[in-house]
A and B are shown apart, each in its own frame.
Chain A
Amino acid sequence: MNSDRHPLREVGSFNCLCADGSFTSSVFDGSQCNLLDDVVSVEEDQPPLEDYCTCSLPHFESAEPPDFEQFPLECLRQGRRRRLVNNSCNSNPVSFEISGNKSQRSVRHKSVQFEDTFLLREENPRLIYINDPRKTNDKYEFSGNEIRTSKYTIITFLPKNLFIQFHRLAYLYFLAIAALNQLPPLAVFGRTVSLFPLLFVLCVTAIKDGYEDWRRHRSDRNENNRESLVEQSGGFRLKKWKKIQAGEVLKILANETIPCDMVLLGTSDPSGLAYIQTMNLDGESNLKTRYARQETALAVSEGGRISGLVRCEQPNRNIYEFTANMEFKGQKFSLSQSNIVLRGCQLKNTEWIIGVVVYAGQETKAMLNSAASPSKRSKLESYMNRETLWLSIFLFVMCLVVALGMGLWLLRHNEELDTLPYYRKRYFTHGRDDGKRNKYYGIPMETFFSFLSSIIVFQIMIPISLYITMELVRLGQSYFMIEDKDMYDSSSCSRFQCRSLNINEDLGQIRYVFSDKTGTLTENKMEFQRASVCGKNYGGSLLMGDSLQEKNIAVTQRRWKLKSEVSVDSALMALLHKDVVGDERIAAHEFFLTLAACNTVIPILTHGTSSSCINGEFHEDVEAIDYQGESPDEQALVSAASAYGYTLFERTSGHIVVDVNGEKLRLDVLGLHEFDSVRKRMSVVIRFPNGAVKVLVKGADTSMFSILANGTEMDDHITNATQSHLSEYSSQGLRTLVVAARDLTETELETWQCRYEDASTSLTDRVVKLRQTAALIESNLKLLGATAIEDKLQDGVPEAIEALRQAGIKVWVLTGDKQETAISIGLSCKLLTSDMQQIIINGNSEDECRNLLADAKSKYGVKSSNGRNQNLKCNKNAETGNLKVPVNTKSSNVPQWYAGKEDGVPSVPLALIIDGNSLVYILEKDLESELFDLATSCRVVLCCRVAPLQKAGIVDMIKSRTDDMTLAIGDGANDVSMIQMADVGVGICGQEGRQAVMASDFAMGQFRFLKRLLLVHGHWNYQRVGYLVLYNFYRNAVFVLMLFWYILCTAFSTTSALTDWSSVFYSVIYTSIPTIVVGMLDKDLSHKTLLRYPKLYGAGHRQEAYNLRLFWITMVDTLWQSLVLFYIPLFTYKESSIDIWSMGSLWTIAVVVLVNIHLAMDIRRWEVFTHVAVWGSIIITYACMVVLDSIPVFPNYWTIYHLAKMPSYWLTILLIIVIAILPRFLFKVVHQIFWPSDIQIAREAEILRRHNYLGLKQDHSSS
């Protein structure tokens, strides 16, 4: 057919990623393309591939029969291993990203014959008949374009809402208890009373849900009733969005929103180009190009009805992939991501587009992507669940005691039961009931019922309301975090965002921070700094573009102006304007041509901007040119090229126009191989006006030097010079790219074109095939030079990292950058210090890595992983030990002891630097533990050249091997997997779009806010929630225990002395408000103190606010308090005429006052709200009791009035409070005197303002 009969002459050497460290190469018969497909698919079906390897295949010359070539297959470990990873991550390469636009522009239209087998392998493709919606929707019921984000309709609201609400365990518990209470033998509470809490919660939630859904309905309605132009009976007429169907042809005008996913057929641009803005989809504000296929674009411009068949994959949520092909006028060609526009995008800079609907309504990628990310559960909450289990055991034991007591009591009084004046199981009336039993079911059943009814009475032992309370408290905490003015980024106008409400308190316990570098530590504003052209270094002396501008204009007579200013190097500039034609001059020319051409940047011309007004007199038709691209690196490079006189002027699907010093150069683009994370380079094949064809390549140095031509000595010299320049650049923290090019011969071109056609129209494994095709031309390249781009550090990064480190948080940087770059950035942000011992793991095979790790471990005395738990502990000790030493004491006499302490090996701070290649081998299980041991004993870990999934792998390693909390922070799509993997994911709203933000739990504008987020808010949240949980356990348990003791005095008959309403109100009204207020507002330390002493963060690491010991102490205290609560009234009113309601009233008020005083004693900051809440609830309790006792219906009528007259009532309450609180108070005082916690000391210092001790600034917030 095409290149089949030409043996592939050169395969070159490839970097390939293979499974299990072995090559998977296969024999390939060039004559049958589909065989390759089969082979690839077989390879792809292999079990999850575990590792990466880089291997260079030897050059296979045709020693074998020409038809058979060894062909390397590249297999990337896909997201299969960790399915939670967003699909989109895979397509996003590591460091310099040129993702997205696949511009496979076919210049030659060649219809590729697909064999039947090929189509058969397509799994159930979706068939769209263009302009024939009826036929399209004939067989399959594709969804219409009506969208519904609302959950309910009026009819389904009640059942569905209830159904969803009862998914919560808490509500089921409520329901079960309420249902139990409805059974006649068990009716402990009044039936309506027992339903009250459940109904209350259900109603509130239902109203909230209903209101939200009503708003969704409204927005859906608006959305569905928007109109678009749809081809109907020969012309474009307006049609409501909800009526649009798959298969219809739509016309979208400029600035309109796209109603559904459409394949472009034609645009106002003759070459079929369209620009869209995908802000609504992924938050990226730059314009992206989409192309209509030439074939259809022509047909559209000719007018007339278009008909054809689109065969596309089933709807999926990957917005970066689209695989389809189209049959049109007998031709068959492929469609890809660049041919589709998605719902929610806006059309920009293009008059109109015409497209056919392929996915509509709920099946559009935008709608499929709207699902929420999985929710995380905080660690404290999981501990809390463990303790809840203990409480359940207590509950069970208590119920068992009551039930057994009941059984034994019945057994003992079995003879008398019939006549007991206070029990009476029989009727003794002269009626039909005479002699029958009254509510008596035999001893075993009575015992069982007693068990159930005691569950009802003791139900609040399980603090179900705590979950609701915690939600409210976290909501309040989130409010304060969002409103914090110190976490507002004025440069991007972005507030702090809480996207997840469940894990606020985790922020107070973070031990590992995994940070992306680009855009997170750095600003991701790229500046072209240095260039190495033909072995010469330029850029040492840079002049601002402004000062050169006049000269430039004079020379180039350019009529436009860059929007961004770029500084240029005069020597290089001079070289470019040399008239002499020499090697160097040509290399420089090609160098900048590559920079201008080999990218996916779109130039946007705008007329007469205000900035050009200054020079307006001289250049009346000044045009401003703005480059829009997905990668800031590319933008920087193109801008730089422009500054040197190579201005990318126009880009369409088939050609680009470069303005070379005023001369317009039109280059046909024959093909473009996008950047991907495997090849780490990008290439473009262009045809010059004179017919010469060149391939221009740029890429990472590691991937480039291996594919350079082995040429003359001169070349070697240049290569060496460039390499030394590169290492120089990267040591300065610059990002480097290598630029190369070569001419293509006709035969090479043809071979490549055939394969390219084939690969780019293939429906399956297109990526792999394109990669193989790229390998054909990306070989034997001529080195042109290298570029260096500066990535500036964000404000406050070194300080933030220093503070985090002092706080005992380990900061690991995971970057896709080169090792040298990473180290230099590490140095500049104080992550690495000069006194650190750097361990560099840079292995190329499993054995090498193992040896390197073993060496490092033995050298620095890191204990081996036998008995990992011990070791873990050891490490932790070591860390706490390390904390004692002030970080800045370089010449400290106290050596810093690490895990090697026992071995007597003194160690200096270690820094581990490891690259992605080594990680490929090491993340295999057996080496992973070695790495873990080494890494955890290092102060800093720097991983460079890591792929997105490796980032997640490293996070996973720490997560699975320790109990420590991890936080991942990043800004780009490549950080998504890491963000989702970590316990806490933080997104930076930066330059690289919003994907990281969408996947994160918290989002903010700058890295430095992390310091405040963790040290201040994290600390507060943790302290607050920790106390909240303990207090709520106590609050409920003390009440239940009090009831329990009483039941022991009532012949185990589950009588409650409290009125039903008091029992219900206890946790709902009487005591709920103060906990919420305190959970939101209480602060132990001011933010100034916390920021000043980052080590106070260690309280979270040591789990000081909530741990099992505290739980048991609380429970013992609870036991004591409940005994006091019960027995003091008992002794006071022993042998008196007190009645059950008075006693109940006394107990109610005593327990409410007690728990509030208990809380009051622990409050560390009394604000107005706290006062109102605490004293208010006591007052409200009294008010409620007065009201309840004033209703004659209740048996407790007038009780409180009688009680209040008795002095003994008041004395009893006072006595209860004092005796109950006394042990806790004593414990607290003694603890604070002899074992003061860090927080306690800092608090004392802060309040007593011992500036001379701690040098604290005056805290203005204190009154």
Chain B
Amino acid sequence: MASKGATSSGGAKDGTSDSSSSSKKNSKKPKYSRFTQQELPACKPILTPGWVITTFIVVGIIFIPIGFASLFASEWVVEIVDRYDEDCVPRNYTYNQLAYIQSSETNKTCTKRLIVPKQMKSPVYIYYQLDNFYQNHRRYVKSRSDKQLRSRASEGDTSSCKPEAVGGNNYPIVPCGLIAWSLFNDTYGFSVKNKALEVSKKNIAWKSDQEHKFGSDVYPKNFQSGGLIGGAKLNASIPLSEQEDLIVWMRTAALPTFRKLYGKIETDLEANDEITVVIQNNYNIYSFGGKKRLVLSTTSWIGGKNDFLGVAYLTVGGLCLFFAISFIFLYVIMPRPLGDPSYLSWNRGQVN
């Protein structure tokens, strides 16, 4: 190819006076190049039986081990889930949960006991799980001001935060917006065998958020001072970058059922240990029929306990192997020679 190009271009360049006149005459003639003639070197894949079967086998061979690995990883994870939103409402309030949760008089403390099914190696992650809570609702997602969160100078930048933008005295709320306003405010205390477990609430938020999205010089102001209290209050003396609960909460969840990291237990939990959890059941999910769960979980390389990936990989891998075998049979039983002209539509009639 290269040599061809060289000769043709060389010919044009070396042209003497009379050949230049002839080249001028032919100047409209398209110059030959593999590109313009659409003859560039190319790979032309074709679905030969070999390729098809190989593809299926390769996919199967890759997928099945992955599936097993994921499944084992998921099995290895120990998870304790406990729904407490109903249990933690006293009997007499069963039919009036809303009144219970909204009243400041009632005792919100609730104690639950959990049995550890298997040994849980530290760190044990503590999550709260909310159901039917649309953190992905458009009005909710947009109700925040990233500028305000990041720097003190933009404190007044609350236009996107309505209806939680400014307090009664028209001072801006920091942090403003519905997301911050609805900050989760249940608290959990853990103890095993009457010995309190320390819950670490550090490093539960993303480092990047702490460092760049939530300013270290921004302090809560006018927060939860409106007519309707949405959730937790913030300590006005701690900058936002240190308010990790808030940072976690502000990373809005993708789905209406979601977990958020509450903290970590840095000690191992043995099998059959009974954990006593003291819950401050403050957060109002009763008004919209939500659910609350407390989740204790270890983790593995795959994440939390979820068999889906493993099962899916195994299924697909198996299916591919099945297809591979079926195609082998198909090709054996009904071979069609590739490129056989007798299969051409205008020849088919003749053969029969």
Nearest residue, chain A, Cβ from B260? A1137
A234, CB-defined interface residue at 8 Å:
no
Q: Which of B38, B163, B260, B261 contacts A1083 (CB 8 A)?
A: B38
B10, CB-defined interface residue at 8 Å:
no
B17, CB-defined interface residue at 8 Å:
no
Nearest residue, chain B, Cβ from A889? B350
- Contact in complex: B312, A1128 (CB < 8 Å): yes
Q: Smallest CB–CB gap between A959 and chain B, Å?
A: 27
Q: Smallest CB–CB gap between A424 and chain B, Å?
A: 6
Q: Given A429-B167, A1211-B309, A422 and B182 touching (CB < 8 A)?
A: yes
Q: Which residues in window 80-110 of B have CB below 8 A to A? A: none
Q: Given A429-B226, A1218-B59, A1245 and B339 touching (CB < 8 A)?
A: yes
User: How many residue-residue contacts, CB under 8 A, span A and B?
Assistant: 310
Q: Given A422-B140, A430-B226, A1142-B254, A490 and B29 touching (CB < 8 A)?
A: yes
Q: Smallest CB–CB gap between B211 and chain A, Å?
A: 9
Stretch of B127-135, B234-242, B270-278 that contacts chain A: B127-135
Q: Which residues in window 1227-1249 of A have CB below 8 A to B? A: 1228-1229, 1232-1234, 1236-1238, 1241-1248
Compute how far the CA of A1218 lies from the CA of B38 in the bound complex, rounded to whole angstroms.
Answer: 32
Q: Which residues in window 417-439 of A have CB below 8 A to B? A: 419-424, 426-431, 433-434, 438-439
Q: Which of B162, B168, B258 contacts A430 (CB 8 A)?
A: B168
Map CB proximity to B onto A1200-1237 as digits: 1 under 8 Å, 0 otherwise.
01100011100110010011001001101100111011
- Contact in complex: B209, A494 (CB < 8 Å): no
Stretch of B40-48, B116-124, B191-199 that contacts chain A: B40-48
Q: Which of B133, B253, B308, B341 contacts A1131 (CB 8 A)?
A: B308
Q: Given A1165-B42, A1244-B338, A894 and B127 touching (CB < 8 A)?
A: no
Compute how far the CA of A1218 lies from the CA of B259 in the bound complex, rounded to whole angstroms.
Answer: 29
Q: Which of B30, B45, B66, B345 contacts A1211 (CB 8 A)?
A: B66
- Contact in complex: B163, A483 (CB < 8 Å): no
Compute how far the CA of A1132 lies from the CA of B163 in the bound complex, rounded to whole angstroms.
Answer: 35
* A contacts with B, residue count (CB < 8 A): 114
- Contact in complex: A1165, B44 (CB < 8 Å): yes
Q: Which residues in window 3-48 of B have CB below 8 A to A? A: 25-26, 28-30, 32, 34, 36-48
Nearest residue, chain A, Cβ from B184? A421
Q: Smallest CB–CB gap between B226 and chain A, Å?
A: 5
A620, CB-defined interface residue at 8 Å:
no
What residues on A are CB-neighbors of B162 within 8 Å? 427, 438-439
Map CB proximity to B onto A1079-1095 as digits: 1 under 8 Å, 0 otherwise.
00101000100000001
What residues on A are CB-neighbors of B334 within 8 Å? 1233-1234
- Contact in complex: B137, A1050 (CB < 8 Å): yes
Q: Which of A1083, A1098, A1197 contacts B208 (CB 8 A)?
A: A1197
A1250, CB-defined interface residue at 8 Å:
yes
What residues on A are CB-neighbors of B349 within 8 Å? 881, 884
- Contact in complex: A431, B146 (CB < 8 Å): no
Q: Which residues in window 489-516 of A have CB below 8 A to B? A: 490, 493-495
B280, CB-defined interface residue at 8 Å:
no
- Contact in complex: A1136, B304 (CB < 8 Å): yes
What residues on A are CB-neighbors of B152 within 8 Å? none
- Contact in complex: A1215, B316 (CB < 8 Å): yes
Q: Which residues in window 321-337 of B have CB below 8 A to A? A: 323, 327, 330-331, 334, 336
B223, CB-defined interface residue at 8 Å:
no
- Contact in complex: B25, A495 (CB < 8 Å): no
Q: Which of B163, B323, B343 contacts A427 (CB 8 A)?
A: B163
- Contact in complex: A431, B166 (CB < 8 Å): yes
Q: Which residues in window 1133-1185 of A have CB below 8 A to B? A: 1133-1144, 1163-1170
Q: Which residues in window 1010-1068 of A have CB below 8 A to B? A: 1020, 1049-1051, 1053-1055, 1057
B313, CB-defined interface residue at 8 Å:
yes
* B contacts with A, residue count (CB < 8 A): 107
A888, CB-defined interface residue at 8 Å:
no
Q: Given A421-B182, A422-B137, A1215-B309, A1207 and B316 touching (CB < 8 A)?
A: no
- Which of B252, B308, B334 has the largest number of chain A CB atoms within 10 A? B308
Q: Given A485-B30, A493-B25, A1198-B209, A1132 and B140 touching (CB < 8 A)?
A: no
- Contact in complex: B46, A1049 (CB < 8 Å): no
A883, CB-defined interface residue at 8 Å:
yes
What residues on A are CB-neighbors of B136 within 8 Å? 1049-1050, 1053, 1055, 1057, 1140
- Contact in complex: A483, B181 (CB < 8 Å): no
Compute how far the CA of A1021 lies from the CA of B162 in the bound complex, rounded to whole angstroms.
Answer: 55
Q: Given A424-B163, A1218-B59, A1228-B47, A1135 and B259 touching (CB < 8 A)?
A: yes
What residues on B are CB-neighbors of A423 within 8 Å? 134, 137, 139-140
A1254, CB-defined interface residue at 8 Å:
yes
Q: Smallest CB–CB gap between A1226 and chain B, Å?
A: 7
- Contact in complex: B40, A1201 (CB < 8 Å): no
- Contact in complex: B350, A1055 (CB < 8 Å): no
- Contact in complex: A421, B133 (CB < 8 Å): yes
A1130, CB-defined interface residue at 8 Å:
yes
Compute how far the CA of A534 lies from the CA of B307 in the bound complex, rounded to whole angstroms.
Answer: 105
Q: Smallest CB–CB gap between B164 and chain A, Å?
A: 8
What residues on A are CB-neighbors of B189 within 8 Å? none
B2, CB-defined interface residue at 8 Å:
no
Nearest residue, chain B, Cβ from A415? B287
A618, CB-defined interface residue at 8 Å:
no
Compute how far the CA of A1135 lies from the CA of B66 in the bound complex, rounded to whole angstroms.
Answer: 22
What residues on B are CB-neighbors of A140 within 8 Å? none
- Contact in complex: B339, A1241 (CB < 8 Å): yes
Q: Given A430-B169, A1138-B254, A1197-B213, A488 and B141 touching (CB < 8 A)?
A: no
What residues on A are CB-neighbors of B174 within 8 Å? none
- Contact in complex: A1198, B252 (CB < 8 Å): no
- Contact in complex: A490, B26 (CB < 8 Å): yes
Q: Smallest CB–CB gap between A1051 and chain B, Å?
A: 5
What residues on B are CB-neighbors of A1083 within 8 Å? 38
- Contact in complex: B212, A1197 (CB < 8 Å): yes
Q: Smallest CB–CB gap between B282 and chain A, Å?
A: 13
Q: Given A1215-B312, A1236-B336, A416 and B134 touching (CB < 8 A)?
A: no
- Contact in complex: B288, A413 (CB < 8 Å): yes
Compute how far the CA of A1262 lies from the CA of B228 in the bound complex, rounded to whole angstroms.
Answer: 74
- Contact in complex: B134, A429 (CB < 8 Å): no
- Contact in complex: A431, B167 (CB < 8 Å): yes
Nearest residue, chain B, Cβ from A1093? B344
- Contact in complex: A420, B70 (CB < 8 Å): no
Map CB proximity to A onto B141-179 as digits: 1 under 8 Å, 0 otherwise.
100101100100000000000111011111000000010
- Contact in complex: B29, A488 (CB < 8 Å): yes
A382, CB-defined interface residue at 8 Å:
no
- Contact in complex: B287, A419 (CB < 8 Å): yes
Nearest residue, chain A, Cβ from B257? A1135
What residues on B are CB-neighbors of A1261 within 8 Å? 34, 39-42
- Contact in complex: B316, A1250 (CB < 8 Å): no
What residues on A are CB-neighbors of B167 within 8 Å? 429-431
B318, CB-defined interface residue at 8 Å:
no
Compute how far the CA of A915 lies from the CA of B305 in the bound complex, rounded to whole angstroms.
Answer: 85
What residues on A are CB-neighbors of B48 within 8 Å? 1248
- Contact in complex: B343, A1241 (CB < 8 Å): yes
Compute how far the CA of A502 lies from the CA of B116 in the bound complex, rounded to whole angstroms.
Answer: 71
- Contact in complex: A1263, B163 (CB < 8 Å): no
Compute how far the CA of A1229 lies from the CA of B253 in the bound complex, rounded to whole angstroms.
Answer: 41
| Given A1083-B38, A1136-B259, A1137-B260, 14 more pairs with CB closer than 8 A | A428-B226, A428-B228, A1055-B136, A1095-B346, A1132-B308, A1136-B306, A1138-B254, A1140-B141, A1208-B303, A1208-B309, A1218-B316, A1233-B330, A1248-B339, A1262-B44
21 intermolecular pairs with C-beta atoms under 8 Å apart? A429-B164, A429-B227, A479-B36, A483-B30, A485-B32, A490-B26, A1020-B38, A1050-B137, A1055-B136, A1130-B255, A1132-B308, A1134-B308, A1135-B304, A1139-B253, A1139-B254, A1167-B42, A1168-B40, A1222-B320, A1232-B47, A1236-B336, A1245-B341
Closest 8 CB pairs of A and B: A430-B168, A1245-B339, A1198-B208, A421-B182, A1143-B254, A428-B228, A1244-B339, A428-B227
